[in-house]
Chains A and B, each alone.
Chain A
Amino acid sequence: MTEPLLSELSRPGRVGQRFASPEQCRGAVDDLPPELLRGELPLPELGELDVVRHFTHLSTMNHSIDAGFYPLGSCTMKYNPKVDEDVARLPGFAQLHPYQPEESVQGALEVMLELQRLLAEITGFAAVTLQPAAGAQAELCGMLLIRAYHRERGDLKRSKVLIPDSAHGTNPATAAMCGYSTISIPTDSHGNVDLGRLKEIADQETVGLMLTNPNTLGLFEQEILEVTETVHRAGGLVYGDGANLNAILGAVKPADLGFDVLHINTHKTFSTPHGGGGPGCGPVAVRDVLEPYLPKPVVARRPSGELYLDWNRPRSIGKLKGFWGHFGMMVRALTYISLQGGSGLREISEAAVLNANYLRARLSGVYDVPYDRICMHEFVASGRSQRQYGVRTLDIAKRLIDFEIHPPTVYFPLIVEEAIMVEPTEAENKDTLDRFADVMLQIAREAEENPEIIHQAPHNRVVGRLDETTAARRPVLRWARVPAQAASAPAY
């Protein structure tokens, strides 16, 4: 059953929470000129139980990691350990004001410093900033660092960013935000960056290369050292999109592959919850030459041992975000890494890669796998051979919903027709993987024998397939008016 909107549940005069009696508020604002005050305040009026029932009901309409398998490629939907949540809610972390005097937040600064050190060690880089809010802002941070590097060297003619055609859309969007133009590098028949084309294109106008490795096909770049060296020879730097870091934890340090900058998504690799689409947290790790440009302030230690925020960073790119970053996510990430330890990190990548290869092996043959070689933590299949029965990847995705499985990422990367991108993560057991494979094989059979059931899917959710075309053509982006209690001015 669908759930009414808050505005539809509202009843004039109902109150959910008061902070004082009306008498205590009387006269509170009579010193303010009325022309500076608002008139009506059309918020819904609900009791607390109304609110609880509403959001509890809404929550049951969601799929989630806790409810079932979520093999959404490129997103690393792994289990979020519950203890991380408990730790982040400790008052000593959750109830800190960002502008408290530094002497009163030494533990928080220690969390940041320790997490920075661990991330630098895991990735092989010299320094880390924790400030960026998420992966896309981290990309912006990284590209601004690269620009600062070129600028300080007086190398001002560089304006082109090279980006493989398999890249996430954020990469070209970020380059454009920096005012750079982009050049797309094709993918070769093995699923690697086309090294020959790269060598032709990289030149004195190249800002750098933005590269995801393993790439979005789930494949490790087999000529990675030559790729990064090619860019360096042309005077560019190599930006690493760390979206797929989960595949290589403890298996290789990206700095050893020739990357100069790397962003990390703690919400992927280090299991901070995705929250329905945020918050993220996007630390950026850099080689020593880029360290002076990191966003300010930087956590530093005085000779006395006391930690402080160092604002005296004259070569810094400045500030990208309010305050120090998503501290609540940093607490969770440090908790997670502490639980795993060095040995556990390698176990993560090993299991993530084994799980993905197992599913690839079970599905290939029935589904096309265009680049069918050993993959890393994810692989990209295609629904193109099911098209002969009139079934498309979108239909396969919707049919999976009937089995309480979140569909893989579909139609990405763009270079694979009818793409189905599967990332099981290390957190899933073999029974879950087998069930997913069995369901996928069943859907392939249904495509031949009973495509109608796939076309009509999903069958058992609160709504069926929604009319997205009308939604975009005639946008309805807010509710109709709340029946307002008070069209009048405030009562006090």
Chain B
Amino acid sequence: MAFVPLTADEQQVMLREVGVDSVADLFVDIPEHVRFPQLDVPPPLTEIEVVRKMAALAARNQHIGQLACFVGAGAYNHYIPSVVGHMMGRSEFYTSYTPYQPEMSQGTLQSMFEFQSLIADLFEMDVANSAVYDGPAALAEAVLMALRITRRDRVVLAGSVHPEYRAVVSSYLDGRGVELATSEVELRDSGLEERPIVDLLDDRTACCVVQQPDFFGNIADLGAIAERCREVGALLVYVVAEAISLGLLKTPGAWGADIAVGEGQSLGVSLSFGGPWVGLMACKQEHLRQLPGRIVGATTDQQARRGFVLTLQAREQHIRREKATSNICTSQTLLALGVTVYLSTLGPEGLRQAAALSHKKARAGAERIARLPGYRVLNRGPFFNEFTVLCPTDGAFVRARLLERGIIAGYPLGRDYPGLQNALVLCCTERNTAAEIEQLANGLASCVS
């Protein structure tokens, strides 16, 4: 399938205009012995053939429309209203680029401004940027931001922060001489317990990172942590991996977060095996100049008409180069548009419902599983839409058995928490039905030998 539209005659005319005899003459700067190598790439396929090939690959997967999905762990199977895909599918949005020329990019710019407004309101934070790659990258950027703001060199992470988020922070900090301290998570008779993170905070600490709900689903009172942060002068960095929870829970801003980050996937972005999604990032007004990423501001033209532009660009790499706040250029604009359409379609009523129903179903699931012989729910306090279950046997084994019944039974904790080999984090959303919860319970019961 060629997408090159030049005819042979046109090529000849163009070559004459350039003043060369052949196209090959345009490549003479390439050393001759490596020029025009053989490529071991199959010959072109027609569109019919490529659709057949890719459909066959897709058919080798079992997708969540075919399975009962009880896995979350940073990726959530919420319902996406049809309107979201239709708006994202408008090619005026998806075939444009970063709005460098505002006069011919007002559609993208206004939607970015609306996205910033929605995220700031959702988080109850002063300002939001127009998104970064994903939740983990947002957290890594937030930690770098806190190091710059405080000029300190120690970072404290809760062990109940998503393991992938912690891993990304660790990679971003490699070689910078920053000390990373992580609170331990232990399995006790009473359930899962995290060692108090306040004990790790000191006057060298740049920031304290907590996740709410945490990786095990727990919702905690963060008042003492916020207070201790203020005492030692550390910033409170608040992670929201499940953004639907903000339809219900007390917000990062209300808890006193200095920087709030999150993953926007829950808000209208398809799972797509892990990406592309959209990282949310907001902060207090006083830290605005250290906030990385694209930011859109409102302004006017000479006729006093309202318009939107990329602004505060003196923070960014194309202006500041090695002195920039980050190297990031992408703002996941198309996914942020999806979030904007999703939130404006749901409104307060729809978002509260999505949150309330997700919680209600998770509670029903946890209560049902808690009654199964051999299973224990490890959450000791309130949880949102995820809960952690100790199985009578290896979590990965349980998962494999339940897949045979068409169920994705949660996330096995063994790789990330060696003491929790038998534990699974299970998740419900508004999409799960009572019948599916019953299937899950029956499947788990069948694993007890």
Contacts and interface: CB of A to CB of B under 8 A. Distances in A.
Q: Say whether A and B bind each other.
A: yes
Interface string A87-103: 11111111111111101
A172 interface: yes
Given A52-B83, A133-B276, A428-B5, A358 B17 contact: yes
Interface string A271-290: 00111111111000000000
Contact of B251 (A38, A121, A137): A38
Contacts of B277: 322
B87 interface: yes
A484 B276 CA distance: 32
Contacts of A41: 122, 247, 348, 351-352
Contacts of B319: 169
A63 B273 contact: no
B97 A277 contact: yes
A466 B104 contact: no
A242 interface: no
Interface centre among A31, A122, A462 (most CB of B within 10 A): A462
Contact of B359 (A32, A220, A465): A32
B39 interface: yes
Nearest to A412: B318
B146 interface: no
Contacts of A16: 81, 344-347, 350
Interface centre among A32, A45, A376, A407 (most CB of B within 10 A): A32
Given A107-B58, A173-B327, A341 B97 contact: no
B337 interface: yes
A394 to B, nearest CB: 10
Nearest to A81: B3
Interface string A1-14: 01101110000001
Nearest to B329: A136
Interface in A50-100: 51-52, 54-56, 58-67, 70, 72, 75, 77-81, 83, 85-100
B307 A2 contact: yes
A62 B106 contact: yes
Chain A interface bracket (under 10, 10 to 19, 20 to 34, 35 or more): 35 or more
B94 A492 contact: no
Contacts of A177: 144, 172, 326-327
Contact of B64 (A43, A95, A471): A95
A105 B366 CA distance: 27
B133 interface: yes
B51 A86 contact: yes
B224 to A, nearest CB: 13
A315 interface: no
B26 A354 contact: yes
Nearest to A476: B298
B94 A276 contact: yes
A97 B269 CA distance: 12
Interface string B27-71: 111110011110111111101001101111111111111010101
Contacts of A490: 248, 352, 356
A129 to B, nearest CB: 12
Contact of B276 (A256, A281, A343): A281
Contacts of B43: 341-343
Contact of B5 (A67, A360, A409, A427): A427
Given A62-B106, A273-B94, A338-B50, A182 B357 contact: no
Contacts of B168: 318-322
A445 interface: no
Contacts of B219: 32, 36
A392 interface: no
Interface in B122-151: 122, 124, 127-128, 131, 133-137, 144
A472 B136 CA distance: 29
A342 B54 CA distance: 18
A339 B44 contact: yes
A280 B332 CA distance: 8
A41 B250 CA distance: 10
A426 B250 contact: no
A429 B5 contact: yes
A24 to B, nearest CB: 8
Contacts of B327: 136, 139-140, 170, 173-174, 176-177
B300 A45 contact: no
Given A19-B354, A95-B270, A5 B309 contact: no
Contacts of B355: 29
A319 B164 contact: yes
A429 B29 CA distance: 25
Interface in B307-358: 307-309, 311-314, 316-324, 326-335, 337, 340-341, 343-357
A458 B103 contact: yes
A55 B415 CA distance: 43
A467 B103 CA distance: 11
Contact of B337 (A18, A276, A342): A276
B425 to A, nearest CB: 10
Contacts of B14: 354-355, 357-358, 430
A479 B347 contact: no
Contact of B50 (A170, A179, A339, A412): A339
A169 B321 contact: yes
B309 A471 contact: yes
A104 interface: yes
B447 interface: no
B299 A322 contact: no
A121 B93 contact: no
Interface stretch (B72-80, B189-197, B436-444): B72-80
A173 B320 contact: yes
Interface in A443-492: 458, 461-468, 470-472, 475-479, 482, 484-486, 490-492
A322 B275 contact: yes
Given A72-B100, A97-B69, 10 more contacts: A43-B121, A46-B344, A46-B345, A87-B58, A100-B67, A179-B177, A274-B96, A327-B274, A354-B23, A430-B13
12 contacts: A2-B106, A32-B219, A43-B347, A61-B105, A65-B91, A122-B41, A136-B329, A322-B74, A323-B275, A342-B41, A476-B297, A479-B113
